[in-house]
């Protein structure tokens, strides 16, 4: 026996977690650099370096000594703290899973993803799906193979879903999406017959330098401490948190669409606040970074929609916008702005979708992923299937793949089974809001004055500070009770009936 005492095993577990965290830190910074300012030609050598680093982290985690260490801790589990118990549980899951993936495949996959992201960007810019298709084929094959390693007893797509949201299945999602569809589609029809909202003023020329100033201002309003959180630019906005003292967000500025940077900054801000508000004890631990993708998305979308698109928030930030863009907004008032950022319009691009139709964009991706992983369609069928579903669900014609199936980075990054967590996250938020309002009173009276602290304090206490101490479903139920999508559909119905005077 390598570990004579529980303390020795605990020390080994701590050392392992800290070493892994250090590697993930370096790899995360490299990824951030690659997505923001690294020159295009750097991808090949970076791919090699990332391959070597992945190999090291693979070996660190798959090391048979870990099995012995975890077994020693499992034998004396009652003497451990709650955090240590959960660390053992998560590390055990990771260890067992990794040992089912051959090291060679693991490394090949991480090299593939590096190349695929560079190729995806090129394919998107040149509207050439064929450039990306061979990479996507390999990514799908790897995911099907990995799903078998994760849990051979499950349908491969269920096994992939479970990676992002423990316990999530196609059965649950089919029911959830069905419930959403039956509420959203009729509402959308009524909105289509109502007086349209004019948001043409949001497509005037808004100089990027001024937009950057506004993004900075938003980070102040969201109380994102610049000592611990920075913003940069990338093709596709994202958040990368290394620990609760170093969280990075990115955005993308479009001169003719200022609300893209505005709402992506608030969205990524929600992710960042989550990571900034995690308790110190989870730094350098396997429990860092939050509970799950779904819970993470619930926080980003809470900030983006429930706060950022509320009348209270838009009325607070509107004077600042007027100050930065006096000419562009000369003929616009607060109410026009609120209605403008909440305009419902079936569209092509997910990240620009309004709050109501957003879930329909997710449903398209969900259906395609299910079919790809079940081998009901091939990668070659993706563009046509995509276009057909957009027509069916959203009623829009997709003009090209750049505005169609090449728009998102997720598949290039290997994330298949991730998209449903966006819809789930959107639906968690309104239920959290209902409980929050009951417990701490109306948050919007404060939001109207630019004070977001009441909402943040509730989220920190109930969600953020715990990171991954609890499983996502358990974390949610501890503060909100059983999940019910009705909170979400009621919220949408009430909000949009008022805006469109239905
Ligand atoms: Zn997000």
Question: 246-251 and 229-233 as β-strands: parallel, antiparallel, unpaired?
Answer: parallel
* Helical H segments across 237-353, by residue range: 258-276, 293-301, 311-324, 334-341
What pLDDT, on a 0 to 100 scale, did the predictor assign at position 75? Answer: 97
The sheet with strand 229-233 has its strands ordered as 229-233, 246-251, 239-243
pLDDT score at 472: 92
- The residue from 163, 268, 275, 355 that is catalytic is 268
**361 CA to centre of ligand 1 in angstroms:** 14
Q: How far apart are the C-alpha atoms of 160 and 348, rounded to whole Å?
A: 26
Distance 351 CA to ligand 1 centre (A): 10
Q: Is 268 a catalytic residue?
A: yes
How confident is the model at residue 195, as a pLDDT? 95
CA of 502 to the centre of ligand 1 (A): 31
Rounded-to-integer distance, Cα 447 and Cα 315, Å: 9
pLDDT along the chain (502 residues), means of 10: 93 98 96 94 91 92 95 97 98 90 88 93 97 98 95 95 89 92 90 95 98 98 97 94 97 96 97 98 98 95 97 98 98 97 94 91 97 98 97 93 96 96 92 98 98 98 98 94 94 97 92
Q: Write out the residues surrounding ion ligand 1, Cβ under 5 A.
A: 300
pTM flag (> 0.75): yes
pLDDT of residue 275: 98
Calculate how far, in angstroms, residue 216's C-alpha sits from the geometric centre of ligand 1. 19
């Amino acid at each position: 026996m390598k570990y004579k005492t529980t303390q020795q095993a605990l020390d080994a577990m701590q050392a392992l977690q800290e070493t892994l965290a250090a590697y993930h830190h370096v790899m995360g910074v490299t990824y951030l650099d690659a997505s923001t300012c690294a020159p295009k030609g750097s991808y090949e050598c970076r791919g090699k370096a990332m391959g070597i680093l992945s190999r090291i982290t693979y070996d660190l985690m798959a090391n048979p000594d870990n099995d012995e260490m975890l077994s020693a801790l499992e034998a004396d589990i009652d003497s451990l703290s709650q955090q240590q118990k959960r660390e053992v549980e998560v590390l055990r899951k990771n260890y067992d899973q990794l040992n089912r993936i051959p090291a060679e495949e693991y490394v090949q996959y991480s090299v593939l993803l590096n190349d695929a992201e560079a190729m995806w960007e090129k394919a998107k810019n040149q509207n050439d799906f064929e450039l990306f298709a061979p990479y996507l084929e390999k990514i799908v094959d790897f995911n099907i193979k990995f799903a078998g390693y994760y849990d051979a007893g499950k349908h491969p797509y269920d096994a992939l879903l479970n990676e992002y949201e423990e316990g999530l299945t196609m059965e649950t999602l089919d029911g959830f999406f069905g419930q959403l569809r039956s509420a959203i589609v009729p509402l959308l029809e009524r909105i289509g017959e109502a007086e349209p909202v004019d948001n043409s003023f949001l497509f005037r020329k808004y100089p990027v330098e001024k937009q950057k100033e506004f993004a900075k201002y938003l980070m102040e309003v969201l109380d994102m401490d610049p000592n611990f959180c920075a913003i940069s630019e990338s093709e596709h906005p994202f958040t990368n948190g290394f620990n609760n003292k170093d969280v990075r967000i990115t955005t993308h500025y479009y001169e003719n669409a200022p609300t893209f940077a505005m709402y992506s900054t608030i969205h990524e801000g929600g992710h960042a606040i989550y990571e900034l508000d995690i308790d110190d004890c989870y730094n350098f631990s396997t429990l860092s970074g939050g509970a799950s993708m779904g819970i993470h998305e619930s926080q980003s979308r809470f900030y983006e929609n429930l706060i950022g698109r509320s009348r209270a928030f838009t009325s607070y930030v509107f004077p600042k916008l007027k100050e930065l863009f006096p000419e562009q907004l000369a003929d616009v008032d607060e109410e026009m702005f609120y209605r403008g950022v909440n305009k419902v319009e079936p569209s092509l691009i997910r990240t620009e979708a309004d709050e109501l139709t957003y879930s329909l964009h997710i449903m398209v991706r969900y259906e395609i992923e299910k079919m790809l992983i079940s081998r009901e369609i091939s990668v070659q069928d993706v563009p046509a299937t995509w276009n057909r579903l957009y027509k069916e669900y959203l009623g829009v014609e997709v003009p090209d793949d750049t505005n169609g199936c090449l728009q998102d980075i997720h598949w290039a990054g290997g994330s298949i089974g991730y998209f449903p967590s966006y819809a789930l996250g959107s639906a968690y938020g309104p239920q959290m809001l209902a409980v929050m309002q009951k417990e701490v009173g109306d948050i919007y009276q404060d939001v109207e004055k630019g004070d977001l602290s009441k909402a943040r304090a509730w989220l920190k206490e109930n969600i953020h500070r715990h990171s991954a101490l609890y499983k996502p479903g358990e974390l949610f139920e501890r503060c909100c009770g059983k999940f019910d999508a009705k909170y979400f559909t009621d919220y949408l119905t009430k909000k949009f009936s008022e805006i469109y005077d239905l």
